[in-house]
Structure 1
Amino acid sequence: MDRELSVTLTQANDACSVALDILRNKNDYNEAHLEPMKNDLIDIQTDYKSILALMYTHATTLGIAFKPPSTPAGAIRPLKDLSTDISNLVGCVQCLRAGAHGKTLHREATWRAQEIIEAVHALLQTFLASKWDESPKQDKTYLMRIGALHSAIDFAKKDLSMDNTAAILSSWKSHSNTLADALAECEELQEESRRDSDGTIWGKRMTNDIAFVLLMCAVQLRLIALIRLVSVLHQRVGARHIVASLPNTVLDSILETSDAIGSAVDDLVSSLYAPQDLLAIKGELDGLEGAVASLQKLLNSSWEDELSQSMAAVSLERTDDASPSKDRAWLIMCFQQIKQSIDAIR
């Protein structure tokens, strides 16, 4: 491999390593010590997507330069450009402040930048490991790496959230899907337990355990009702209470409770697999109860101010059921039913 090309590849590879180290350790610095913001969110996102477009073009040019018969001299410029792009992308991400623009959007932009730079890193390592001068036609791995990089860039440009509220709603939808999957899994486990109680499986092998099987069937039925309630509550909050009028700090905290609820439900369903332990199930119920209580506390504390104002601006196309008073009453009732369901299972 040409010496200048080898040096440039190594420098670009090192730039990726440094950039990834910065992005992975962004929590190590205090935003209070950073310079005041000079650009608004729209400007930052425009720069972000423009940098990604440049990276796409430079990666394509690099791939063409390495296409047999390779032209080392033609690869040096796009490699240097990619190094610059990576530095600019990290700088753009650093302009997004968790405090000013929202922690969820900040985390999303950071994660997408990491994914793209990791794809560049993998591409460059493929070039460094290949003996292009000896057998340029034998290794086509770089084509797959470029394709992966292009896909990561396209995904980030298309799906990067416009603001913190949109980023939270995107994550909220993912959490709702997690709850739906957990409900389906619990229903499947209950069906298996029902067959066991009918004597098709355990009834033949472990007749003495039939009482426990019947008990687990009853527990699972109640858990299905509980998870369904939690899922409905989660969907309602996402549809009517994740509003841009709330401070980013409040929205980010609400999303954290959503994540905690999803994890608690997953753990609860996992505890239903053999060997079942009622004490373990109770422990997971405690975790779910705590997560739901945290969500209720956040909603209650924000209701009188920003939330009540935002609900007053609900579209006229909605029914009276969407009014603040009725919506709050519905939430209170749902939280109470969840608490009662948990107590009944205990």
Structure 2
Amino acid sequence: MTDKQKVIVALTSASETCTAALSALASRNQRNKFEPQTSDLAVIVKDLDSLLSMIYNTSTKLALVLKPSSPTYSASLPVIVDLTKYTSGIAHCIHLLNPNLHGATLIKELQHEVTAIFEALRAVVQTFLNLAARGPSIARNDSAEEYLVRTGTLHDLITQARGPNGIPKDNISAIRRRWKQDRAALEDSLREVSEMIDGAEGSENDDVDDGWDELGLGDTGAKMDGDELARAKNVHSVLRLTTLLHKRIFLDLLSSTPTPPGPPPSLALDALLLQSHALLAASDELVSSLYIPQNPATIRKESLALLDIINGLQLQLRIFFPDTSSLEQQLSGLSIEGDKSAPTPSKPTADKKWFDLCFDQVTKTSANLVSPMYKPSPGVGQKPR
């Protein structure tokens, strides 16, 4: 067997390894979540970073030794073997992760990043495989430069994965990133309702030529009536509170440096993020229901759906505020009356009061929206203190 034939076999094996690794990534969600694991997350993440660095460097070597104009097949064989080994190593690292121990959100982020890298690596390998199979004449073809483009794409993906906005170091970091994305979308929804209200109340820009009239798509002159505007303002008050609530959860409960006794379990954090996604989806539906002509029944339905998510979120936050009343009562019973050293409420207790008040305000502000008679009342949606 010639060196070229050996390279074709090795590249075929490397491509198949990428395909198998992608299949393993896609099917790992069907594994037993309670499968015992003892691997240290910091060690796994460090190994992943090292393996990605080696794939970056090895793919560069492969592009040099298999340059279409002058391939060196004998020198490329150990390079291809190394690429195959590193690919299998990354798949093994991902296999070690367990949702209960390491966090489902972190695993999803890793799956997303690594899947893109494996696909890009397979494309690089396939390009060299095609070049080797089709012979040296392809070297004079413009398509021979494709190997440079695909190698560059692989390098970019690895650089991104290893960068500060790439693979998270732990589950709380992954959740904070996704939480920020949801918060930005919630703020967009709030801004959208504000623009609806401004458009219904303002008149100074009514005659501005925005170019749509020329296409026959100009303003029809339809505007919110008094009841529709009142509903929009009521929804704006609700969304302002929920956006504020979402922001405070991020600042107070999803700290990257949690205080003792440490962060909540990964399962609780992952469930909290699911509530954030649900809140975003419900908010979008509620905003969509405000466009005229409004259907009060639809607005009521979407308001109830949003309120249901809020209630679920309130239940989900209980793990962040464990009930310490019985312990405080026992300690106070042991203290001398008037003793200044008696225990005082901790910061989490004070935070819980703020969240309880905010949830209560959301419920009160939503009262008009969920009422079958729907009579928006003034003064709703006051900011919790």
TM-score range relative to shorter protein? 0.7 to 0.9
The CA distance in 2 between the partners of 1:146 and 1:234, in whole Å, is 41
1:222 equivalent in structure 2: 234
1:66-215 alignment, distance < 5 Å? 66-73=66-73, 74-129=75-130, 131=134, 133-137=136-140, 138-139=142-143, 140-158=145-163, 159-194=166-201, 213-215=225-227
1:287 and 2:305 are equivalent in the alignment? yes
Residue 47 (structure 1) shift: 1.0
Residue 6 (structure 1) shift: 2.8
Residue 270 (structure 1) shift: 3.2
Conservation of the 8 A alpha-carbon contact between 1:13 and 1:121:
yes
TM-score (norm 2): 0.75
1:15 equivalent in structure 2: 17
Distance 1:215 1:170, change over 3 A: same
Give the AA of the match of 1:93. I
Give the AA of the match of 2:136. D
Give the AA of the match of 1:163. D
Q: Unaligned 5+ residue runs, structure 2?
A: 209-217, 328-344, 371-385
1:326 and 2:333 are equivalent in the alignment? no
Distance 1:205 1:255, change over 3 A: closer
Count of residue pairs the alignment pairs up: 328
Distance 1:185 1:47, change over 3 A: same
Conservation of the 8 A alpha-carbon contact between 1:193 and 1:216:
no
1:300-315 alignment, distance < 5 Å? 300-304=318-322
Distance 1:39 1:6, change over 3 A: same
Residue 54 (structure 1) shift: 0.9
1:37 equivalent in structure 2: 37
Conservation of the 8 A alpha-carbon contact between 1:103 and 1:164:
yes
1:315 equivalent in structure 2: none
Conservation of the 8 A alpha-carbon contact between 1:196 and 1:213:
no
TM-score (norm 1): 0.83
The CA distance in 2 between the partners of 1:265 and 1:294, in whole Å, is 15
Conservation of the 8 A alpha-carbon contact between 1:219 and 1:345:
yes
The CA distance in 2 between the partners of 1:274 and 1:334, in whole Å, is 30
1:50 equivalent in structure 2: 50
User: SS at the partner of 2:86?
Assistant: helix
1:313 equivalent in structure 2: none
Distance 1:25 1:206, change over 3 A: same
Residue 197 (structure 1) shift: 12
Distance 1:235 1:71, change over 3 A: same
Conservation of the 8 A alpha-carbon contact between 2:299 and 2:369:
no
Deviation digits for residues 110-136 of structure 1, max 9, x if unmatched?
222212112212323334455562232
1:316 equivalent in structure 2: none
Which of 226, 235, 238 is the equivalent residue of 2:247?
235
Identity among equivalent pairs (%):
29
Residue 194 (structure 1) shift: 4.1
Distance 1:10 1:325, change over 3 A: same
Q: Which has the higher helix share?
A: 1
Which of 247, 251, 270 is the equivalent residue of 1:252?
270
2:337 equivalent in structure 1: none
1:318 equivalent in structure 2: none
Deviation digits for residues 139-183 of structure 1, max 9, x if unmatched?
223222222211221222223222222222222122211212222
Residue 20 (structure 1) shift: 0.9
2:339 equivalent in structure 1: none
User: SS at the partner of 2:366?
Assistant: helix
2:333 equivalent in structure 1: none
